[in-house]
Amino acid sequence: MSIVNIDSAEHYTWGKQCDGWHLVKSDNLSVIQERMPAGTCESKHLHQHAEQFFYILSGIATMRLHSETIELSANQGLHVKAGVVHQLINVGPDDLHFIVTSTPPSHGDKIAV
């Protein structure tokens, strides 16, 4: 076992300017810390098998779920079940930092809508 942080974790970029760090990457579980600059968003999508939990570390997140919009701030989280269309957006003026936990891992399970 070893201590993990964003300096030691596998890093990747997504979207136009967003960052992700794989804190846990196994066959059954994915835990990623992500950073979304102001004005960025994820594409609208769903996961057939993965359920996810988004936990906001700093900034303000706007989550669109079907026809509902939920605003999350630091120390708040949201569970998104498999099959639910969702889109995470950073409409705030600051970077959005959050943790997304997926089981099973969501990579390869994303369907754009």
Q: Is the pLDDT of residue 65 over 90?
A: yes
Angstrom distances, CA of residue 22 to CA of 10, 13, 79: 5, 11, 19
Is the distance from CB of 31 to CB of 23 less than 8 angstroms?
yes
Q: Is the pLDDT of residue 104 over 80?
A: yes
The reply to whether CATH 2.60.120.10 applies to domain 33-74+84-98+109-113 is yes
| Domain ranges within the chain, ordered by starting residue | 33-74+84-98+109-113
Q: Is the pLDDT of residue 1 over 80?
A: no
Q: What is the tens place of the pLDDT at every residue in 13-25?
A: 998 899 999 999 9
The whole-model pTM stands at 0.95
